[in-house]
Amino acid sequence: MHIPDSLYKEILENMPIVCVDVLVEHEGSVLLLKRNNEPARGQWFPPGGRLLKNESPIAAAQRICKRETGNTIVVEKQVGTYNTTWEKGPFALKTGVHSVNIVFLARAKNKEVKLDKTSTEYHWVNKMPKLHPYVKKIIADAGVLHENSKTIRTE
Q: Please state the pTM of the whole predicted model.
A: 0.90
Q: What local confidence, expressed as pLDDT, does residue 90 receive?
A: 86
| Domain assignments of the chain as residue spans, ordered by start | 5-142
Q: What local confidence, expressed as pLDDT, does residue 1 receive?
A: 61
> What mean pLDDT is reported for the chain?
91
- pLDDT tens-digit readout, 1-47: 678 999 999 999 999 999 999 999 999 999 999 999 999 999 999 99
More confident residue, 23 or 148: 23
Torsion of CA 135, 137, 107, 101, to 10 degrees: -70
Q: What local confidence, expressed as pLDDT, does residue 13 receive?
A: 93
Phi, psi of 55 (to 5 degrees): -110, 135
Tell the CATH superfamily of the 5-142 domain.
Answer: Nucleoside Triphosphate Pyrophosphohydrolase (3.90.79.10)
Q: What local confidence, expressed as pLDDT, does residue 127 receive?
A: 86
Q: Which of 19-23, 89-93, 132-136 has the lowest mean pLDDT?
A: 89-93
CA atoms of 134 and 130, how far apart (whole Å): 11
Per-position DSSP letters for 63-123, written without gaps between them: HHHHHHHS--EEEEEEEEEEEEEES--SS--SS-EEEEEEEEEEEESSS-----TTEEEEE
Q: What local confidence, expressed as pLDDT, does residue 112 receive?
A: 94
Q: At residue 126, does pLDDT exceed 50?
A: yes
